[in-house]
């Protein structure tokens, strides 16, 4: 510690001694020169810029240029820096003496430091020799534990890497399964695209048959000549559906929607997989007895079809007053109350319903 402190102080004080020596040299030069700045020599007239024939000088105590009487040279005197010079020399001498003493004592400090290190090494060797028989078994066990710990860390890292690889393989296997399913679906679509498209007239004919069957099943009054034309517009009694009453148009619209959806589902044609029916009892309230019976037949048909040819499809019905036959299939009721906006059915499971 003492050697390091002495060397550090020596490195810091040497530049300071050089600075003091430079200050002493500058002050000594100033005291010998007796002036800080060299007098300005006139080379041209400051008014007309003409070069004078003779250089102005101080003659008989007067300035040769402005004729101003000047004090005697003894009165002007040179700058006195004796005090600063003496102080700088004293500090330089003191610093030099301190550095010489420090440089002289460093070899002794280094020798003592080397001797202390040697004594420390010898003491350590004696301690090792005295405790070798008692400590060596524990040191060996410590080294063995360290090796086992290192081995366990390697095994753990290898296992973690293996788990990451397994997870990556499983993820890629799932990706492959999805790709296989996509390829199979695309192959089916390609095979279907290669086949001849279905006959439009046959499809419309099947929809017309289903349309008429539904109206007959619901006991539509005075049912006659029910069909769907080539533009998929429903007709009844030889007229467009717009000529029917408001309640009749509601039943015609229901039959037309269900006919299109059911034929599309049964023929595996393009469809969204579900059908949304809003307010099937609209305009039927004018005939409460006949309307209630008819809407009950509509719900009976939905349950029958969804349990048979339409299994897997989904029909969502939004009805203000569903009949008793559909009570078990109610999923949620809206109460029109802000404190209790809706209530869910507690007796029916959503996944078990053919329609909602």
Q: What angle do CA 60, 62, 63 make, to 5 degrees?
A: 130
Instruction: Give the residue, 351 or 302, on which the prediction is more confident.
Output: 302
pLDDT in tens, 310-353: 888 889 988 888 888 888 888 888 877 777 766 655 443 333 44
In CATH terms, 200-352 corresponds, of 3.40.50.300, 3.10.129.10, 3.40.190.150, 1.10.340.30, to 3.40.50.300
Cα-to-chain-centroid distance, residue 11: 53
Mean pLDDT of 287-296: 70
pLDDT in tens, 199-235: 788 888 888 898 899 988 888 888 888 888 888 899 8
Residues pairing with 278 in the sheet: 318
CA 262 – CA 317 distance, rounded (Å): 15
Q: How confident is the model at residue 158 (pLDDT cuts 50, 70, 90)?
A: very high
Taking alpha carbons only, the member of 302, 199, 216, 215 closest to residue 251 is 215
The 3-state secondary structure of 54-95 reads CCCCEECCEECCCCCECCCHHHHCCCCCHHHHHHHHHHHHHH
Residues pairing with 333 in the sheet: 343
Cα-to-chain-centroid distance, residue 41: 77
Predicted pLDDT at 246: 84
Mean pLDDT of 27-33: 74
Q: Of 29-43, 86-100, 309-323, which range is least confident? A: 29-43
Taking alpha carbons only, the member of 326, 282, 284 closest to residue 304 is 326
Q: How confident is the model at residue 288 (pLDDT cuts 50, 70, 90)?
A: low
Instruction: Give the residue, 57 or 77, on which the prediction is more confident.
Output: 57
The two three-digit tokens of residue 175, written as one number: 């990706």
pLDDT in tens, 51-61: 776 777 777 77
The pLDDT > 70 percentage for the chain reads 84
Q: Kind of pairing, strands 227-228 and 342-344?
A: unpaired
Per-residue burial over 304-339, b = 16 or more CB atoms within 10 Å of its CB, e = otherwise: ebbeeebeebebebebeebbeebeebbeeeeeeeee
pLDDT at 165 over 80: yes
CA 14 – CA 98 distance, rounded (Å): 11
pLDDT at 189 over 80: no
């Amino acid at each position: 510690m003492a050697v390091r402190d002495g060397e550090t102080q020596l490195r810091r004080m040497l530049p300071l001694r050089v600075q003091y020596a430079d200050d002493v040299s500058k002050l000594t030069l100033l005291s010998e020169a007796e002036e800080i700045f060299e007098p300005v020599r006139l080379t041209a007239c400051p008014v007309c810029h003409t070069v004078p024939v003779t250089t102005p000088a101080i003659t008989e105590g007067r300035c040769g240029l402005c004729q101003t009487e000047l004090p005697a040279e003894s009165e002007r005197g040179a700058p006195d820096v004796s005090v600063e010079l003496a102080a700088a020399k004293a500090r330089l001498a003191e610093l030099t003496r301190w550095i010489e003493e420090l440089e002289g004592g460093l070899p002794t400090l280094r020798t003592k430091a080397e001797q202390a290190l040697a004594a420390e090494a010898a003491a350590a060797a004696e301690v090792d020799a005295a405790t070798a028989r008692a400590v060596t078994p524990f040191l060996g066990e410590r080294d063995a534990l360290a090796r086992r710990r290192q081995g366990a860390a390697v095994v753990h890292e290898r296992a973690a890497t293996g788990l990451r690889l397994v997870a990556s393989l499983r993820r890629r296997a799932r990706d492959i399964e999805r790709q296989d399913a996509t390829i199979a679906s695309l192959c089916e679509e390609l095979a279907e695209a290669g086949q001849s498209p279905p006959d439009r007239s046959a499809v419309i004919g099947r929809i017309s048959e289903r349309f008429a069957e539904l109206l007959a099943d619901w006991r539509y009054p005075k049912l006659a000549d029910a069909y769907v034309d080539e533009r998929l517009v429903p007709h009844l009694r030889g007229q467009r559906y717009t000529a029917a009453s408001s309640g009749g148009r509601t039943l015609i619209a229901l039959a037309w929607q269900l006919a299109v959806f059911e034929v599309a589902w049964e023929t595996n044609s393009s469809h969204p997989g579900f059908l949304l029916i809003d307010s099937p009892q609209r305009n039927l309230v004018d005939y409460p007895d006949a309307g209630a019976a008819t809407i009950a037949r509509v719900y009976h048909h939905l349950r029958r079809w969804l349990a048979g040819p339409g299994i897997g499809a989904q029909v969502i019905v939004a009805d203000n007053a569903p009949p008793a036959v559909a009570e078990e299939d109610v999923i949620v009721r809206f109460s029109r109350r802000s404190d209790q906006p809706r209530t869910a059915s507690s007796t029916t499971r959503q996944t078990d319903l053919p329609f909602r």
